[in-house]
Structure 1
Amino acid sequence: MKTNGNEQKIDVIISVDAGGTSTRYSVMDQNRNVVYTVDGGSGSPAVNANAESDIINMLEEVYDKVIDEFNVKAIVIGMSGFALVDHDSYVAQLKDKFNTEIEFISDAYLALLSILQDKYENGLVVVSGTGAVINALNKGKLFRTNGWGQLLTERGSAYTTVRDFVRQMIHNNEQKGYFSPLEQKFMKHLNYNKLEDFKKLFYFNPKYVAASHARFFIEEADKGDEEAIAWLRYNGQLLGQDAVSALKRVSMDSEFAAGFRGGFISNAPYVVEGLVDTLKKSGYTPIIVKGDSDPVFGGYYLAKRKQYI
């Protein structure tokens, strides 16, 4: 690997958004310009057992491509499954290899920083895709709710929206012996004839397969199905309840910046509606901001806050 000499070079940082499906590596200068970017495979240790070494290997490739022209002032890594890694050991390994400042954070915090940018000091991010996690930041205090994996939490995610609907179907059928109109539509959507067919969906497929069927509820809601609309709003309310818990833990003021990330919530306005309504009923006035569309820019704003660039 080439050395990080800094003579007459432009200062940059490398920001890494390591997700469960893919990982983005972006090199950015002091003015937020992306001078190089590349995507790799899963960077989450919850999905990829080799995530830590895979990230280092890809970082070496990125580093070597830019070091002749740029001075790498810091590397910021936002990782899904962050809590599964020995933080101190991994940071020490990265510092030893790249001889630069290292910031190792969760992907949810990276997403929050991409929303706050350099315009807001405090705020909230609700991430809801296949899974779900919520981060609140106030006066330097960061708190997370949800995000413990689908076996423990993640309500309001695409996966639990599907799973809990099926649980409701099972309960209704066992207790009352019927399926609601939307439940019947869902069975037809999956080409299932009996409840036992759902075992195939949940026990013989990875998490994302069940989660992909959350699209069914969005499509039915778009057609005006009141049951689908109510179900999406309900799942938004669950996210809102967890968001309120996070806000209380950081003693957030009533008004704050808030943004949403993830393929499910970004395409489900009724989920957002239920979430925001829950926040307002709890006495909060969120300022909804879009921030940067790509969470990888959160690394740039963290580097600015730390005065690396």
Structure 2
Amino acid sequence: MWSEWKAADEGGDAGLAAVLASELLELTPKSYYSWFQAGLLSKALGNWPESLDRNTRALKLFTPKDAEEFNGANPAAWNMGIASTALGDWSTARDAWGAYGLDKFQAEAGPIDVDCGMAPVRLNPDQPSLPHQVLFSVGKTEVVWCWRRSPAHAIIASVPLPESGHRFRDMVLHDGEPKGTRRLDGLQVSVFDELGRLEESGLPTWQAQIVGATAADIQALSDLLGQRGLGLDDWSGIRLMCSKCSHDAREDGHDHIPTTSEDAIRLGLAGHEADLGGAIDAWLAGRHGIDVLNLDLLW
């Protein structure tokens, strides 16, 4: 039956794989490996209630022998944490992270909102990580910086391009497998793929063309907007990368040059018009030689 399941994986037959997974669980109800693998299939299909149930069962069956295979860590606990986060079951998520060895998430109750640093997340991922994976997509693929709030969810800190179908401060569910890297403060940090969107911020996305501003001026505007809960991204230096390069699989002699604008700085802004207008006016006060050519609502 396991051979048939693997053949279904290779043939892309998700329906057959699901049937065989259920039959395998009936035949081996006390096998950690069976429940874990079945839970992976549920995760790939985005069936979060089923994934939570199967990984919870796997967690209970985890033995010291299984721990040796996974270097002491329990991957079922991690996938249990992802599934419970997707369902908003924060109590179970805290238990899952504790079972994985991340005790700090068990200190409190209620929704998890812990500062886990900055991380890049690939919105609308274009390459599956698992057989039969149903990729979440509401637009074009884009890697954005996020405030990570738990091991499985983050809030978008960048201002995504409208083509991504995402907005500043959207809350997204993300996987735990690194899929490429980006640089932050001179260090390489892992990129995680989006698995779904948990909450939409509803904040409008704008574009502004600015001339005469220095890097220090733009940083001052960014700080001012950040203090008011608004977003800013310098879209002038966006790198439009192919999928291979985005996943750190670039070929020799192949690279992508950031887009540049000779005449104006192109900014992506996020917030309501009155709030942005007030912040920009405050920023311009006392600054001479800077012109905001336009402030256009994109979506």
What's the TM-score, normalizing by structure 1?
0.27
The structure whose Rg is larger is 2
Q: Higher helix fraction: Structure 1 or Structure 2?
A: 1
